[in-house]
Structure 1
Amino acid sequence: MIRVASVQTNPAMNAVSDNVEAMVATMGDLARDRVQLAVFPELATTGYMFTDAEECRTVAEEIPTGPTTERLLHACAEYNMHLVFGIAEKDGDRLYNSSVLLGPTGYIGKYRKLHLWNKENIVFSPGDLGLAVHETALGTIGILICYDLWFPEAARTLALDGAEILCVPTNWVPIAAGNGPDGSAMATVLCSAAAHCNGIPVVAADRCGTERGQDFLGRSVITSHTGWTAAGPAPTLTEHVLVADLDTAAIGPGRRWNDFNNPIGDRRTDSYRISD
């Protein structure tokens, strides 16, 4: 069993030091609850609503040599914890909406968001590192960011490459036909669908609050490998921490639904249209 946390926060725009220290304080609380993997939202260190690329450039950092990654590496070592968090990455002249995976013994890897949402397109370059899985002491971890989850090919690719946990830092916003009158959210439905169809748990950490006129959805969630909710969804308006114990040993056997059917093994790749 692996104890994981989805941490729903409301970061302050461009207040990197304050946001990071708040993350570290939360990690200390989680360590006392024996959490082994914590996931924070997309752009958790900077805020989201950049006016343009030049504003983003003032707070973007290199990975893994930037001060934010170094500070959080120290916290991971102190608390014996793995961490996934969103950050604005600077690489030469380019900016990326990225997530970083750290562990108690050091930097593990990063992911650059493939599918940019709305005005992210005027700030960031599309991700160019593809979809990678990362071997860790807790198991094999794959990462997607927010809008990436709307493309089932992305989660499926990570599952086929051996991902045992899917981490999704996100900044979900209310969208037409995406939110139910009862407070339900299509985003959490997609988390359950990705988990169920691929037989892997999903740890999705959203932000909350309103930033420069943009409302965020909250509703962070942790699903088991079955697709059913293990914790959450979190409230819409407030910061919140979800904790769940995930059984990664059940992933392989859990895909065997009966004597004949397995959602990974039953794929008919001879019949699928995989490109335009």
Structure 2
Amino acid sequence: MTQPPTEAVRPPAPADRRVSPARIAVVQCDAQVGLGNREDNVARGLALAARAADDGATLIVLPELCATGYTFATREEAYAHAEEVPSGGTVRAWEVFARERGVHLVAGLVEREGVRLYDTAVLVGPDGYVGHYRKTHLWNIEKLWFAPGDRGFPVFETPIGRIGLLICWDIWFPEVPRLLALQGADIICSVNNWVWTPPPIFDESGRCMAAYLTMTAAHVNNVVIAAANRIGTDRDARFLGCSLIAGTNGWPIGEVAGPDEERILTADIDVVASRGAPIWNQLNDLVRDRRTDLYDTMLGYTLSPAFPR
């Protein structure tokens, strides 16, 4: 007697072992300089953030200076676009959005403190303003308008996890993501206005050098980095997209965005995965293997506010 065919037995699906699940979104968009554009810049950024929130995002990252545009002609023009943090109207609008949607939001603007201007990234959450970071490494003519950041590299405790911030040119300085990681950052939010530089701009895969630097920083620090860049042109500057979310192993989670497209990239991650698996093998560990006895004093890490004597 012929036996009926036996169905293939499939192994059970692996259990979701994430201990702190979150959905991160990076928003790639355009923003234009000009006081007449500020309201539209903020509204467009929040409209895209709302789409990300509708898709379940709990942490949303917008580009550098997304509220104001980037290419100022004079310091006076930059000053006219500036506002105080956190009391300014733009931060208040971001706070309202974060509170209503129950998300954390990172976005960039021009901060004014007294007569000084800063290129600043702001973090807000469901309970309001969390903190801000002032860009430390200024690119090109930014040095004519902005003062360099003067408060080190803060990491903010949130219900999601520990969040560090960096801005654009900062990623070319490996000390920045390293200092954030050493302070326990679970995720680094990178807000950017990566511009076109002398060619070659992209490799055969369509990725730019900034994307590879982001991937490398995530890999060597075992930390998630969510990098949001802008697109389009702003006066004489052209921007190259390539937004991405790099996992703790350095590789992009999903796509790297193209150079010209308005995009929202999302990734489901365990925000604190790096806390539970810092050792790569039985004999190597990124933090343990550092030879601080040889190079910390030379690099000045021991003089950082994060590592007081």
Common fold by TM > 0.5: yes
1:130 partner SS: coil
Matching residue of 2:252: 229
Q: Deviations over 1:18-47 (max 9, x none)?
A: 111112222221221110000000000000
How far, CA to CA, are the matches of 1:40 and 1:6 in structure 2? 6
1:196 partner SS: helix
Query: 1:38-117, aligned counterparts within 5 Å?
Result: 38-117=60-139
Greater shift after overlay, 12-21 or 60-69?
A: 12-21
How far, CA to CA, are the matches of 2:106 and 2:140 in structure 1? 24
Report the alpha carbon displacement of residue 249 of structure 1 after superposing the two structures with TM.
3.3
Q: Deviations over 1:230-252 (max 9, x none)?
A: 13211101211101011123212
Matching residue of 1:274: 299
Matching residue of 1:213: 236
Greater shift after overlay, 65-74 or 171-180?
A: 171-180
Q: State whether residues 225 and 254 of structure 1, in contact with CA within 8 Å, keep that contact through their aligned partners in structure 2.
A: no
Corresponding position: 1:204 with 2:224:
no
1:58 partner SS: helix
Which of residues 2, 5, 12 in structure 1 aligns to 2:32?
Answer: 12
Against the structure 1 CA distance between its residues 161 and 122, is the aligned structure 2 distance closer, same or farther, given a 3 Å change threshold? same
User: What residue ranges of structure 1 are gaps of 5+ in the alignment?
Assistant: none
Q: State whether residues 188 and 220 of structure 1, in contact with CA within 8 Å, keep that contact through their aligned partners in structure 2.
A: yes
Report the alpha carbon displacement of residue 110 of structure 1 after superposing the two structures with TM.
0.3
How far, CA to CA, are the matches of 1:178 and 1:128 in structure 2? 34
Matching residue of 2:211: 188
2:260 partner SS: coil
How far, CA to CA, are the matches of 2:58 and 2:261 in structure 1? 24
Corresponding position: 1:171 with 2:193:
yes
Tell me which amino acid in the other structure corresponds to 1:144: L
Against the structure 1 CA distance between its residues 124 and 206, is the aligned structure 2 distance closer, same or farther, given a 3 Å change threshold? same
Report the alpha carbon displacement of residue 178 of structure 1 after superposing the two structures with TM.
6.3
1:229 partner SS: coil
Query: 1:95-174, aligned counterparts within 5 Å?
Result: 95-174=117-196
Report the alpha carbon displacement of residue 190 of structure 1 after superposing the two structures with TM.
0.6
Matching residue of 2:275: 252
Report the alpha carbon displacement of residue 177 of structure 1 after superposing the two structures with TM.
5.9
| Superposition TM-score, scaled by structure 1 size | 0.97
Matching residue of 2:22: 2
Q: Deviations over 1:60-90 (max 9, x none)?
A: 1100000000011001011111000010001
2:141 partner SS: helix
Matching residue of 1:261: 284
Q: State whether residues 178 and 187 of structure 1, in contact with CA within 8 Å, keep that contact through their aligned partners in structure 2.
A: no
How far, CA to CA, are the matches of 1:178 and 1:206 in structure 2? 19
Which of residues 32, 46, 49 in structure 2 aligns to 1:24?
Answer: 46
Q: State whether residues 99 and 127 of structure 2, in contact with CA within 8 Å, keep that contact through their aligned partners in structure 1.
A: yes
Give me the identity figure in percent: 43
How far, CA to CA, are the matches of 2:202 and 2:50 in structure 1? 35
How far, CA to CA, are the matches of 2:108 and 2:254 in structure 1? 21
Q: State the Cα RMSD in Å.
A: 1.2
User: What residue ranges of structure 2 are gaps of 5+ in the alignment?
Assistant: 1-20, 301-309
2:119 partner SS: strand
Q: State whether residues 219 and 232 of structure 1, in contact with CA within 8 Å, keep that contact through their aligned partners in structure 2.
A: no
Q: Deviations over 1:86-126 (max 9, x none)?
A: 10001110000000000011100000000000000001011
Q: Deviations over 1:187-210 (max 9, x none)?
A: 010111110101000000000001
Report the alpha carbon displacement of residue 181 of structure 1 after superposing the two structures with TM.
4.2
How many residue pairs get aligned? The number is: 275
How far, CA to CA, are the matches of 1:3 and 1:9 in structure 2? 19
